[in-house]
């Protein structure tokens, strides 16, 4: 295993349970050490919160049939309600062009496959939580997600969509929402046009990662941190022979590579060239004061710089209840170079969302404390908005590349693990076709 973000960590756990002998390397420190977030990748570097819903890893193309697609977010800076956080070079221009060329009919087909994989992953999450309760006993597992909309048209549109995927559990008027969740009582009337309670859950992902690492070590897995793979070694036939770490060559039957936004760092196979770029998300934390929010929330503020935000019910390292706000789409391309002034605009937008919906929590925290909680992580995205799943031969097995799951890597982690296990066992899985980079190159449905 190369990379131990949450996706590859879940895969490692899956493979170990299936009888594989697992060894893993990661360039960052051991996530259990709690070092500076800047030293970690997306899973541990981001805040201690993740969410599953049936519409995670959503497609961000214009899917409106009957008119030319409207794609502009990657060419506008965040301060002008766009997503751009970098100065695009040639690789970025190519990637943005690929994104903009996806027609509505194809985006709908891609999105349908992503949602089908979400549903499969949801069933696997449920089975896993029941089968291994010790892994989920201390991760603040919170069921059901409250989706709140500031725009009536978007609320009606989303209700149809949630109904279509079988996610809707209850619909609230603004008054009913405030009665069910008094923590939102201070939100102004114009901030809540409607609310849908949907199937899903949230948890503290850093705690889950720690539990998985402990389990893997107890099962005999060899886990090495602060160990960067600098090169994949291939023989004359192009087969992956080993991974170079410092002056040591690691050899194995199989390799599973999940590199996050650093996808191109190991010269992936040609079909994956320039496929995965980085899109930044930012985080802030406030105390969950009385009356406490009891369900995690998705906020939709159409036209706002932080248009979509997750609010996760969590706890801090001392066990005190907190709310973790995650939001923002900031395109940083293939190089990860960030325009700090535009990043500041993203943070300001996130704080504005806290101010509007939870003003007392913001006052209780104080601006300095909220500022200290700021962090960001860079998620792996593709221009197609599909994840990637690619295999290469090794002398005695396969090298499997996974990633590019946009905002849905955590949500799809179990079904990704299933797809990897199926590939290494010689079988076929729906993800092998749906996320094949050759499918995107061919423009096929």
pLDDT at 444 over 50: no
Tell me the pTM. 0.96
Reported as a single tens digit per residue, the pLDDT across 9-55 is: 999 999 999 999 999 999 999 999 999 999 999 999 999 999 999 99
Cis, bond preceding 2 (omega within 30 deg of 0) = no
Across the chain, mean pLDDT equals 94
With 0-12 / 13-18 / 19 or more C-beta atoms within 10 angstroms meaning exposed / middle / buried, residue 177 is buried
Q: What is the mean pLDDT of residues 77-83?
A: 92
pLDDT at 71 over 70: yes
pLDDT at 65 over 90: no
* Per-residue pLDDT at 440: 66
Weakest mean pLDDT among 129-138, 191-200, 202-211, 331-340: 331-340
- Where are the chain's structural domains? 6-442
Contact in structure between 254 and 397 (CB atoms under 8 Å): yes
pLDDT at 265 over 90: no
Q: If phi over 0 gives left and psi between -120 and 50 gives alpha, with beta otherwise, what is residue 281?
A: beta
State how far the Cα of 320 lies from the Cα of 371, in Å rounded to an integer: 18
Tell how far CA 274 is from the center of its chain: 19
Tell how far CA 389 is from the center of its chain: 16
The model's confidence at residue 191, banded by pLDDT at 50, 70 and 90, is very high
The model's confidence at residue 439, banded by pLDDT at 50, 70 and 90, is confident
6-442 — its CATH code? Answer: 3.50.50
Phi, psi at 89, each rounded to 5°: -100, -165
State how far the Cα of 402 lies from the Cα of 394, in Å rounded to an integer: 16
The model's confidence at residue 405, banded by pLDDT at 50, 70 and 90, is confident
* Per-residue pLDDT at 264: 82
Burial 264-274 (b: 16+ CB within 10 A, else e): bebebbebbeb
- Which of these, 206, 210, 247, 198, lies nearest to 227 by C-alpha position? 247
* Per-residue pLDDT at 57: 87
pLDDT at 443 over 70: no
87-92: Cβ within 8 A, 24+ apart: 87/337, 87/339, 88/333, 89/333, 89/334, 89/335, 91/274, 91/277, 91/333, 91/334, 91/335, 92/277, 92/331, 92/333, 92/334
């Amino acid at each position: 295993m190369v990379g131990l973000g949450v996706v590859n960590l879940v895969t490692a756990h899956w493979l170990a349970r299936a009888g594989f002998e697992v060894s893993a390397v990661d360039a960052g420190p051991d996530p259990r050490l709690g070092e500076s977030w800047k030293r970690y990748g997306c899973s541990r570097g981001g805040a201690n919160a993740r969410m599953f819903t049936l519409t995670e890893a959503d497609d961000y193309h214009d899917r409106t049939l009957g008119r030319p697609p409207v794609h502009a977010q990657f060419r506008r800076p965040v301060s002008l309600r766009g997503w751009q956080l970098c100065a695009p070079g040639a690789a970025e221009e190519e990637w943005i062009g690929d994104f903009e060329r996806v027609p509505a009919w194809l985006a709908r087909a891609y999105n349908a496959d992503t949602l089908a994989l979400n549903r499969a992953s949801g069933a696997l999450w449920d089975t896993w939580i029941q089968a291994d309760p010790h892994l989920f006993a201390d991760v603040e597992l919170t069921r059901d997600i409250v989706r709140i909309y500031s725009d009536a048209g978007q609320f009606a549109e989303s209700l149809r969509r949630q109904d279509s995927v079988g996610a809707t559990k209850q619909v609230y008027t603004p008054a009913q929402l405030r009665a069910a969740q008094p923590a939102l009582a201070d939100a102004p009337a114009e901030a809540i046009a409607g609310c849908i309670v949907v199937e899903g859950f949230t948890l503290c992902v850093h705690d889950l990662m720690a539990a998985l690492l402990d389990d893997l070590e107890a099962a005999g897995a060899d886990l090495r941190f602060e160990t960067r793979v600098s090169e994949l070694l291939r023989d004359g036939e192009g087969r992956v022979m080993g991974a170079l770490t410092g002056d040591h060559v690691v050899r194995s039957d199989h390799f599973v590579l999940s590199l996050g936004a650093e996808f191109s760092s190991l010269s992936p196979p040609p079909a994956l060239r320039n496929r995965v770029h980085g899109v930044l998300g930012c985080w802030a934390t406030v105390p969950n004061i009385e009356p406490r929010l009891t369900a995690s929330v998705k906020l939709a503020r159409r036209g706002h710089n932080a248009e979509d935000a997750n609010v996760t019910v969590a706890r801090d390292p001392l066990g005190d209840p907190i709310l973790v706000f995650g939001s923002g789409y900031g395109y940083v391309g293939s190089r990860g170079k960030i325009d700090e002034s535009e990043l500041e605009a993203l943070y300001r937008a996130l704080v504005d969302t806290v101010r509007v919906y939870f003003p007392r929590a913001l006052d209780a925290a104080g601006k300095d404390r909220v500022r200290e909680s700021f962090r960001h992580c860079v998620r792996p995205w593709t221009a197609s908005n599909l994840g990637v799943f690619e295999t290469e031969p090794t002398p005695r097995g396969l090298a499997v590349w996974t990633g590019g799951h946009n905002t849905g890597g955590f949500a799809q982690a179990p079904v990704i693990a299933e797809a990897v296990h199926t590939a290494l066992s010689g079988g076929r899985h729906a993800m092998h076709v749906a996320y094949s980079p050759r499918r995107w190159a061919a423009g096929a449905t």
